[in-house]
Amino acid sequence: MKFIDRSIQAIKPTDKTFEVWETGYKGFGVRIRPTGRKSWVFLYRFGGKPRRMTLGEYPYITLAEAHVKHAAACQLLKNGVDPGALEQEVKQDQKQTTTIDELIGKFIKHCKAQKDCRGATDFEESLKAEVSPVWGTSRAKDITHRDVVTLHDSINERGATSLGRNALEAIRAMFKFAVETGTVETNPCDGIVDDLIDSFIKSCREYKGNRTYAEYERNLKKDVSPVWGSLKIRDITRRDVIALQDRIIERGAINQSRQVFKIVRRMFNYAVEEAMIDFSPCLGIKPKAKETAKDRFLSEEEIRIFWNSLQGAYMSDPVRRALKLVLVTGQRPGEVAGAHSSEIDGDWWTIPGERTKNKRSHRVFLSPLAKQLFGVGRIGYLLPSPFSEGTDDEEPITPLGMAKALRRSLTGREQYKGKIKEPTIKLPEFTPHDLRRTAATHMGKLGFSGIVGKILNHTDNSVTAIYNQYDFDKEKKRALLAWSRKIEELASGKSAGTVVAFPQTG
């Protein structure tokens, strides 16, 4: 066949390596591997024996450049020189002399030549900012795993963990390219924890679904990669696992340390299953004790500030409404986020058992304010993610998204490239779940303490509860109506104490 770029791109890989030859160019073709990688090849005879040489990888080496290399090789043959042997000598010289700065240039050119080159700019930025100043004049073949660890640690010590993670990812990709092109023989990043994280996350994406995958990826990249990312998987010890938990607890995040430990334990079990290591360093280690119950709730003045500041906060409208709904209804963030039109019947919202913590269906009265926030009348998820709204695969917002949006608005911390903004909700930090605690606390103050547990759907395993099957709908309605009016008065700036509690009997 006659080669053009479009015809080369159209060749699909199979489960075996094969070659396609171009007419008019003796012995010149393209080799396609099962992975999809394509490289130019030249098949010739020298000294009566068949030989093969690689002319470069497509599209890093263009068709025109490969034709020039083919012509040069044919000329060498006419002059009695084995072009393949000469190429090997040149490659050996390159292995001895190629510097990191030269390798960076070749790697970035290769990335930009790819059909999907979205990562090329990020790689170039990381390599030129973090790697070139330190390794630029060093020979690529001399870089060791210890050098990688030292560089990664030095970036993290500046407090720039996201930059450290990006730099490590770029270094891994660059040395993978260097091995594939024969510039170096081994990749100093082979077998590091970040390799395991990528493999584990890919497995989770395939078998556990998008939400679990996203949660695991967020936790591993936030708390594990900055500490272990550049270390060899086999070098992680039980002491390291315990130290990682302690490190997270030191910043006051006991429950987060438990969550991260459980994910790390699953990740190392996966590594054992995949024969990456023989034993998990998590064996025999238990998560740290659970955090004691928190007592953060918003005062009446804080409720007013929170409610009125939300309009200008860094979040989408569905997330903004969801946070208000947690406060208005007292339900869990995840239950609010996943609300569906099929769960609404008039003034009542029935959360099915599969979506509640205690696996029991739960009826919630919707005050006019709650119905307004839900936008009752919409079909499907009542709080759809802006990224999927209007598509065939529409999904709701997530409690994780709610928590991150609230954190950004309270602290000004932007999660992308470490940008800092002015906080839009100027209050001490709190979480979406603290809004649920706020609702419970203030309904108690209004005189409804006896019904709060029913509104929150707390489990009551007492003997009395087993025999008492009364639904308490009337009492829940009174409490939630009173609480809704209280919120509206606080938001409007009216003085505290103007809401009169409904009696709980009668």
CA dihedral 163, 168, 171, 172 (to 10 degrees): -150
pLDDT tier for residue 503 given thresholds of 50, 70 and 90:
very low
Residue 296 has what pLDDT? 84
Count of CA atoms in the C-beta half-sphere (13 A) of 174: 31
Cα–Cα distance list, 316 to 337, 397, 406, 506 (Å): 13, 10, 11, 42
89 and 207, same domain (yes or no): no
478 and 350, same domain (yes or no): yes
pLDDT tier for residue 36 given thresholds of 50, 70 and 90:
confident
Q: Judge whether 5 and 63 are in contact, CB under 8 Å.
A: yes
86 and 111, same domain (yes or no): no
pLDDT at 330 over 70: yes
pLDDT tier for residue 210 given thresholds of 50, 70 and 90:
low
Paired tokens of 206: 């395939």
Q: Judge whether 336 and 323 are in contact, CB under 8 Å.
A: no
Q: Minimal CA–CA distance to 160: which of 417, 420, 404? A: 417
pLDDT at 174 over 90: yes
Count of CA atoms in the C-beta half-sphere (13 A) of 483: 33
Please check whether residue 347 lies inside any domain of the structure.
yes
Residue 392 has what pLDDT? 65
Average pLDDT, the chain: 85
pLDDT at 466 over 50: no
Q: Minimal CA–CA distance to 299: which of 451, 441, 502, 498? A: 441
Tell me the average pLDDT across 469-473.
72
Paired tokens of 472: 């308490």
Domain containing residue 53: 5-97
Task: Specify the CATH number for the domain of residue 126.
Answer: 1.10.150
Phi–psi pair at 42, nearest 5 degrees = -130, 120
pLDDT tier for residue 203 given thresholds of 50, 70 and 90:
confident
pLDDT at 397 over 60: yes
Please check whether residue 216 lies inside any domain of the structure.
yes
Across 29-38, 217-226, 381-390, least confident range: 381-390
Q: Judge whether 347 and 337 are in contact, CB under 8 Å.
A: no
pLDDT tens digits, residue range 56-104?
Answer: 888 878 889 899 989 998 988 888 888 888 777 666 655 567 899 999 9
Tell me the average pLDDT across 477-504.
76
Which of 124, 149, 180 is the last residue before a domain boundary?
180
Strand partners, 31: 19, 39
107 and 92, same domain (yes or no): no
Of these ranges, 82-91, 206-215, 359-368, the one predicted with the greatest mean pLDDT is 359-368
Residue 464's SS3 state is helix
pLDDT tier for residue 264 given thresholds of 50, 70 and 90:
very high
State the Cα–Cα distance between residues 203 and 191, nearest whole angstrom: 17
333 and 436, same domain (yes or no): yes
pLDDT at 363 over 90: yes
Paired tokens of 482: 């009173």
State the Cα–Cα distance between residues 487 and 496, nearest whole angstrom: 10
Across 21-25, 180-184, 337-341, 432-436, least confident range: 180-184
Please check whether residue 498 lies inside any domain of the structure.
no
- At residue 476's C-alpha, the angle toward residues 475 and 481, to 5°, is 100
Residue 434 has what pLDDT? 93
CA dihedral 158, 174, 207, 340 (to 10 degrees): 60
pLDDT tier for residue 416 given thresholds of 50, 70 and 90:
very low
Please check whether residue 212 lies inside any domain of the structure.
yes
pLDDT tier for residue 251 given thresholds of 50, 70 and 90:
confident
Of these ranges, 245-249, 413-417, 422-426, 477-481, the one predicted with the greatest mean pLDDT is 477-481
Residue 137 has what pLDDT? 92
234 and 169, same domain (yes or no): no
Q: Judge whether 369 and 484 are in contact, CB under 8 Å.
A: yes
Q: Judge residue 259's burial from the number of C-beta atoms within 10 Å of its C-beta, 0-12 exposed, 13-18 middle, 19 or more buried.
A: middle
Bond before 59 cis per omega within 30 degrees: yes
Residue 91 has what pLDDT? 64
Residue 52's SS3 state is strand
481 and 383, same domain (yes or no): yes
Please check whether residue 405 lies inside any domain of the structure.
yes
- At residue 494's C-alpha, the angle toward residues 498 and 439, to 5°, is 70
Which amino acid does the sequence have at 120? A
308 and 239, same domain (yes or no): no
Biggest CA-to-CA distance, the chain = 108
Residue 214 has what pLDDT? 80
User: Which is it for the CA torsion 147, 149, 150, 151, positive or negative?
Assistant: positive
Count of CA atoms in the C-beta half-sphere (13 A) of 105: 7
Strand partners, 363: 350
Residue 225 has what pLDDT? 92
Which of 127, 152, 180 is the last residue before a domain boundary?
180
Task: Specify the CATH number for the domain of residue 404.
Answer: 1.10.443.10
What secondary structure does DSSP assign to 338-405, as a single string?
A: T-BGGGEETTEEEE-GGGSTTS--EEEE--HHHHHHHTBTBSSBSSB-TTTTTSTT--B--HHHHHHH
pLDDT tens digits, residue range 215-238?
Answer: 888 899 889 999 999 999 999 999
Count of CA atoms in the C-beta half-sphere (13 A) of 281: 19
State the Cα–Cα distance between residues 368 and 386, nearest whole angstrom: 25
Range list of H helices, 127-160: 132-135, 145-157
State the Cα–Cα distance between residues 189 and 196, nearest whole angstrom: 11
Phi–psi pair at 65, nearest 5 degrees = -65, -35
Please check whether residue 285 lies inside any domain of the structure.
no
Residue 496 has what pLDDT? 47
Across 33-47, 418-432, 472-486, least confident range: 418-432
Q: Judge residue 140's burial from the number of C-beta atoms within 10 Å of its C-beta, 0-12 exposed, 13-18 middle, 19 or more buried.
A: buried
Cα–Cα distance list, 31 to 1, 19, 41, 92 (Å): 14, 4, 7, 23
Cα–Cα distance list, 294 to 297, 331, 363, 389, 437 (Å): 9, 17, 26, 35, 9
Which of 68, 97, 126 is the last residue before a domain boundary?
97
Fill in the DSSP letter of residue 420: B
Which amino acid does the sequence have at 182? G
90 and 109, same domain (yes or no): no
480 and 339, same domain (yes or no): yes
336 and 413, same domain (yes or no): yes
Q: Judge whether 24 and 63 are in contact, CB under 8 Å.
A: no
Tell me the average pLDDT across 138-144.
91
48 and 170, same domain (yes or no): no
Please check whether residue 187 lies inside any domain of the structure.
no
Which amino acid does the sequence have at 156? N
Across 107-111, 461-465, 485-489, least confident range: 461-465
Strand partners, 41: 29, 54
Q: Judge whether 156 and 108 are in contact, CB under 8 Å.
A: no
pLDDT tens digits, residue range 276-320?
Answer: 999 999 999 988 766 554 678 999 999 999 999 998 888 899 999
Task: Specify the CATH number for the domain of residue 26.
Answer: 3.30.160.390
Please check whether residue 503 lies inside any domain of the structure.
no
* Structural domains in the chain (count): 4
State the Cα–Cα distance between residues 41 and 361, nearest whole angstrom: 66
